[in-house]
Amino acid sequence: MVLAAGLGTRMRPITDRIPKPLVRVGSKTLLDHVLDPLAEAGVTRAVVNVHHLADQIEAAVAGRERPEVVISDERAQILDSGGGVARALPHLGETFLIRNADSFWTDRGPSNLVRMIEAFDPDRMDTLLLLAPMEGSVGFDGPGDFFLDADGRLTRRGSAARAPYAYAGAAIMRKADFAGRADGEIFSLNALWNASLAKGRLRGLVLDGLWLHVGTPDAIGEAERALKG
C-alpha cells in the first residue's frame, strides 16, 4: 500500500501544479523511488491511493508492470493514512507493507524491505515499523518519534525533547488490525499503532542505509546532493 493521496501543502508552490509523489528527485519521481524497491523486493502488486491531482498519478503508473499498480480512489474525500488503508483492504493480503510516498532510502546492505518481511513475526507483533536514526538522516527536521528497546519494542517520544528514531515511512501491518473500521472512516494509522503499543506489540526495525525525507522544496536539493555522495 503506497500512501500517495496527500495534499503536499509543505511542498507548495510545486504541488499547486503536480502531486507530491510526482516531484522528481534526481532521475526519478518520489513515487518511482518507492515503487522500484518494492518490485526489487518481490512485491508484485501495489495499491496506490489518490486524491490531489489524481489524474496525473494514474497516468504516471498506467504502464507499470512491476509492481502492477491498483488505484484506490479518494477523489471525493481524503481519508487520512488509516482510512486510506481501510478503503484499500479488498485489494490487500492478510499481511502487507505500507509505504509513504514522501520518503525513501538507499540500502547499505540487504534490502531493508526484505529485512522487514523476514523480521515480521505475528506471534510477537501486530505492526513492524521501519525506523530511521535521527543522526545522519537527510531532510527531516522533527524531534524524532520513538525509543526502541533491546527486544524491538517501541515507546513514543512523549514529553522527551528528542527521540533517537523517526518513522521512516514503511510498515508491515495485518488486515485483522483494521477490524471494525468502515470504508470512508477518516482516521490515522497512529490510532492503530497506539493500540498495539499499549499491548507491547508495536515493534521497530532500524534502517540500514541513508534515509531521505523529502517534505519541502528545499529538501529536494538536499536529497539530490546526498544521493550524489
Query: What does the pLDDT profile of the chain (229 residues) look like in tens digits?
Result: 999 999 999 999 999 999 999 999 999 999 999 999 999 999 999 999 999 999 999 999 998 999 999 999 999 999 999 999 999 999 999 999 999 999 999 999 999 999 999 999 999 999 999 999 998 899 898 899 999 999 999 999 999 999 999 999 999 999 999 999 989 999 999 999 999 999 999 999 999 999 999 999 999 999 999 998 7
Q: Is the separation of the CB atoms in 126 and 204 below 8 Å? A: no
**Beta carbons of 61 and 74 less than 8 angstroms apart:** no
In whole angstroms, what is the distance from residue 12 CA to residue 19 CA?
Answer: 10
| Residue 63: predicted pLDDT | 87
Amino acid identity for residue 145 in this structure: D
Q: What local confidence, expressed as pLDDT, does residue 217 receive?
A: 95
| Count of structural domains within the chain | 1
Residues spanned by the domain of 23: 2-228
The CATH number linked to 52 is 3.90.550.10
pLDDT at 91 (0 to 100): 96
What is the pTM assigned to this prediction?
0.94
